[in-house]
Structure 1
């Protein structure tokens, strides 16, 4: 098969040839060359005898002869063979640059696209006539040759091609030589002999790269192992004995070669031990990693240990210890073991001096494999709404270890959750949701891990009655005799579809009545009494039965005035106060805002008067009169108006000790005082006596009188008296204290003398003529009937009595 590139080139050649023939028949010459014999130019010039020749890069073809595939290939090959020789530039020790030019073809019949031409580059380093090796094939015009050998002569050939069928002739060869450079890295030195204090090394010559080796540099780490090297030899010899070394010590060596162009890189590092003693008994091998069918065993290297020998014993085979590793590594992986099986291991170390004792025997065990899944769980017994029991069989393959526990997972549609872990092979699922589809799966565990889960078992719990509906809601305002109710589906349908609803009404007298039963979620309830509280409940039904009643909705029908309260309760707390309480009546749909408490005192008036108004249901009346009859009644008020008054409740206050005496009068003399008072209120019990307290002396008890004469008083002395009344109940309060002062005693009668006598008058004199005490004198004269009549009163010491009758 020809490539697409070859076919495109042939199509262009064939098209130009046909166009050429048309132009010749019409007598038209497309180029500017001198006219001559008619020729068909197709990728070259064809002579008159039908022979194709290449003359100075031009292709000649027959003028009108047929052009077959072989002729086309010949024309293209001739053009590809006209490629210039490659140019070699930028030659270095290991690299050079090759520049290529496209074929130099002048034939107008050959239409070659330079971008379609590829180049094949061949290289030989064995001579001009040696075998060449293809090092490049592509469309690049500049090729960089890398990894060349320094100081080597190379021969280069190149050719152009369009495909595997259309190739030009090889151009060349072109010769070039790479430059000289430093030597190649030498091979690591080899051990010849060793003692406890010396090591003899030798090495092979390395590639000089065009310049003779002038010296070899041997370096050693001095046995420290810290990565620092020191030169121990430099010279042209290819062997050396390193002395003054320590016995049983590991030394690391490296080698470099030097010529006139520099120093080569160092060889790979190599280590050797000086001679010493046989290794001591190694530590027991250690378990690094544990697998089901393999164990990774490791150990520790000591300074004089070169290689290790690890043996293993499988007691079940009876073959004893078998070597499983022999080498210098510090760990090995032992494969193809049996799962959950114990193996015994021992280790010995070796060096050139011999082999150590075997280490202590240690035992390591492979891990068990994960068990296979248990059988698919099965339902055991009857499925209940809230529980069911499942059972399962153990796995057929336990993985080489006993099953330690089973893991049971349950999926209720929201993903699997672990509900049980234990060794039992059955489990009771409880607290489930009725009417729900559950998927159950089981896995088991052993020391190797957890198995995959078994196939799932499907179980559907039985439905139960629906859950509780929300309390019904009132639609709009309640009317006087009807209202509109609405309810919703319960939050939980019990695992089955709700089929219908039921609603009931609880009247104020606790009687119930079904008001609706059907598929709808609302109804209108009629036949209500105004201002009455009602309770409404709803419930849902499914195929399992009726659900519970919802929480009640309390609704009060259209409001009215409250019912009349019951008769108030009156409790006498004392003779002067009573506590009146009453019960809240039925408000008939409107909250009671206040109460009116009225009272009546029969002794004063027959009409009731307002005593209290407010929201409280109790009131304490104070300041009452003891042993007095009172009557109380109460009235409730709401937004619709006042209720009727309650029945009246009479009350008589209990008797009490007398009231205190308010009015006290005292008539004072020099040695006595008459005390009078007004009888106080007896407060329902007759006064039995009085007590009079004079100054701080003990009180004087009197009969129930209203006056008392205090005698044997001291003249011109101030006294304080208090009076209290007593009855069968007790002693009343003392009156306010009353103060009074007794009068002085009268003076002695003065001596009366007659100073002047006249026929109708007489002048009298008394006293000593001085009145320092401001006394008042009274002069009396005897009348005919023997009584005396005052004729003068005053402070004077003399008086003339006139209008007397002569004897």
Structure 2
């Protein structure tokens, strides 16, 4: 049913000659079967052997929906579509092309980035890098590509086109996208020193990055055995570090509990946010004398004695309480009398020989480092 034309070709022998036939109005990217038979005065010959032919496809269509999928400091991840409503355009490969856009180009283009992108569509590709993405044998489809090895905080132009046996398709409009700034590196040589019973000094080497400088530091402090109910990210506190040498910083953590073990981490921040934190640094604060026990209270009053009881210190500051000391004085007197310094229980019976006398009591605790306050 398709039209065509025949013409004589070059003779291959005195008895035969090569005949050409140009079949026209065929559909692109379609399979056809051709047969040939001869006609003479005696009639038609039998058909020749079958000849299978697949027509070339049309060049691929314009890529659509070219968009940035993900942005990184050293990479851009793109996706696009090569779908063809007529389903006649096979895309064998997609060529992705990109180049850096300089600040001079931006300053010189009065029409903004949109005009600059349009101008790039006519550029010579010598200044562009490119890579090809195999597309298989499907008609149309959605594809993606990762462009790696880019410079951080740099503007790039990216274009895509399809290619097949029918030729190269048109370039997509240029997409301009800037890579992100990398987060700061992890602080190094992190350790503690000058640890007392209530404080410790954290010290570290600051990350060196002149292009994207550190703007702040944060510390996270957790005590050993403590249950953390809140989000760990909320435990980070911004600190003011002090430079103590070339590239060396320190920070004093105060109000620590004596004898308690802590885990400290440091991380740096820049304009895009926090970087990787250091590994947890475990520090055990020095032990100290215990805090005072609770105020002694009367649990029972006898005619000539009183039974007192109290609660132990809320913390032992790293050393167990071994004894309690109890003192008493009569109301109106200033001098305290020691009842005992070897009490090991949380209650004691105290002799009060004078009836209807008001007595005052105070108590303190002792551990291996000494006595607490009264």
Q: Which has the larger radius of gyration?
A: 1
More contact order relative to length (CA 8 Å, sep ≥ 6): 2
Q: When you count strand as a share of all residues, which structure comes out higher?
A: 2
TM-score, normalised with respect to structure 2: 0.49
TM-score, normalised with respect to structure 1: 0.24
